[in-house]
Copies of this chain bind each other. A is one copy, B any other.
Amino acid sequence: MSLQDVHNMAKKTKEELDVSAEEKIKEAARKVFTLKGYAATRTRDIAEASGINLALLNYYFRSKEKLFHVIMIEKIQKLFGVIIPIANDTNLALEIKIELIVTNYIDLLLEHPDLPLFVFSEVRNNTEQFIHSTNADNLLRNSSLIKQIELKKPDINPLHFLMSLLGMVVFPFIGKPVFTAAGILDEEIFQKLMNERKALIPKWIKSMLELEL
């Protein structure tokens, strides 16, 4: 039985109506970790941002690393959660899947613009720790989506299309800080572009799948 369980058992007190202390800490941790990355985040930052003191943070989560791990797993699942259920749905036509994935992904990322850059760079810095924590391996490799693409274009590795789709959807969010800093983009244009891309990318991907090379 974990410390959290102990607390949850007794959590019938004042904060049952509003958010529990544990959740306040997690919410602050999501914010600060995502903003600054693991190494640059101080537990004191999180405590301050959550409005809860440092002692309790360590009491609930034992260590900065354990708290980070909890948040990371959430974030990884959020990042893959959009694509996997759709990719594995055997009742949807390829064209519909592409549209769904693109639209849902862009909507998710418009709400959480720094999700991809956070996950990609933190996983890179600690690869071993998160191996297979995505559950994306077989769920993607043997997905119905991959099979549908293979059927349509047997001569090209289907990963090409997956990477292109994800690249066109996700890359703008990753490059945004740089492009913004470089003066190429501003927030207003960015929003407009990403909404346009919900319609453009599926058309582009479909045409790539039709293309005879």
Contacts and interface: CB of A to CB of B under 8 A. Distances in A.
Interface of A: 36-40, 114, 117, 119-121, 123-125, 127, 130-134, 136-138, 140-141, 156-157, 159-160, 163-164, 166-172, 174-175, 177-178, 180-185, 189, 193, 196-197, 200-201, 203-204, 207-208, 211, 213
Contacts of A136: 182-184
Contacts of A203: 211, 213
B171 A121 contact: no
Contacts of A133: 181
A184 B137 CA distance: 5
A124 B120 CA distance: 13
A172 B123 CA distance: 15
A122 to B, nearest CB: 9
19 contacts: A117-B124, A120-B175, A120-B178, A127-B177, A133-B181, A141-B183, A141-B184, A156-B200, A157-B193, A159-B184, A163-B175, A164-B167, A164-B201, A167-B171, A170-B171, A170-B175, A203-B211, A204-B208, A204-B211
Given A181-B131, A203-B213, A163 B156 contact: no
Nearest to A41: B39
A140 B193 contact: no
Nearest to A141: B184
Contacts of A181: 123, 127, 130-134
Contact of A172 (B167, B174, B211): B167
A197 B159 CA distance: 11
Question: Which 3 pairs show the lowest CB-CB distances between chains A and B?
Answer: A167-B171, A167-B167, A137-B183
Given A166-B171, A204-B208, A207-B211, A123 B157 contact: no
A38 B40 CA distance: 9
Given A37-B125, A204-B208, A119 B160 contact: no
